[in-house]
Amino acid sequence: MPTQTEIYEKVSATLVEALNVDEEDIKPDSTLQGDLGAESIDFLDIVFRLEREFGIKIPRGELFPESIFQGDPDFVQNGRVTEKGLAELRAKMPFADLDQFAADPQVSHISDLFTVEMIARYIQGKLAESGKN
């Protein structure tokens, strides 16, 4: 049963390989796209590598939900995520830290939710759920 530190270290190593970045570029609050340069195709590779590394199955769209809102006016208005949209994000991404995002919920900032720490929390939850933690 890996510790939180071991999970974080494995997630970091996986991101170094998948994104071809230096180890020192990986910090808990590093965003995948903004800080580490991930592109949409990289997300598939990251999921595949994490599944292999941790021996878990990551359902499509669970770790990296595809466009949650799809222009739904109940979820997004004037480029900002509504309270109902925030509730949807919390439901779909309970492992994400939404507090800072909720203070200024611009749709353009959603990618900032995808950090190294968020992935480690997701993996920790999946391992606990599967009895591997």
Q: In which band, very low, low, confident or very high, does the pLDDT at 132 lie, cut at 50, 70 and 90? A: low
Residue with tokens 């919920």: 105
84 burial via Cβ count (<10 Å: 0-12, 13-18, 19+): middle
pLDDT exceeds cutoff 70 at 128: yes
- Please state the rounded mean pLDDT for residues 54-79: 85
Residues 1 and 32 in one domain: yes
Q: When comparing pLDDT for 99 and 67, which is higher?
A: 99
Query: How many domains does the chain fold into?
Result: 2
- Whole domain around residue 86: which residue ranges? 69-111
**pLDDT over 70 (residue 101):** yes
Q: Are residues 123 and 59 both part of a single domain?
A: yes
CB atoms inside a 10 Å sphere around CB 65: 17
Q: How far apart are CA 22 and CA 64, in angstroms?
A: 23
Residue 71, by phi and psi: left (phi above 0), alpha (psi -120 to 50) or beta?
left
Q: What is the pLDDT of residue 133?
A: 58
Does residue 57 share a domain with residue 4?
Answer: yes
Is the alpha carbon torsion for 11, 52, 68, 88 positive or negative? negative
2-16, 63-77, 91-105: the lowest-pLDDT one? 63-77
Same domain, 54 and 74: no
Lowest mean pLDDT among 57-66, 67-76, 91-100, 117-126: 67-76
Angstrom distance (rounded) from CA 111 to CA 33: 7
Residues 131 and 100 in one domain: no
Q: Which residues contact 120 (CB under 8 A, 6 or more apart)?
A: 4, 7, 8, 11, 28
| Residue 123, domain CATH | 1.10.1200.10
pLDDT computed for residue 129 by the predictor: 87
pLDDT in tens, 24-36: 999 999 999 999 9
* Nearest alpha-carbon partner for 100 in 112, 108, 118: 112
| Residue range 106-115: mean pLDDT, rounded | 91
Q: What is the pLDDT of residues 40-50, one digit of tens each?
A: 899 999 999 99
Kindly state whether residues 13 and 48 are assigned to the same domain: yes
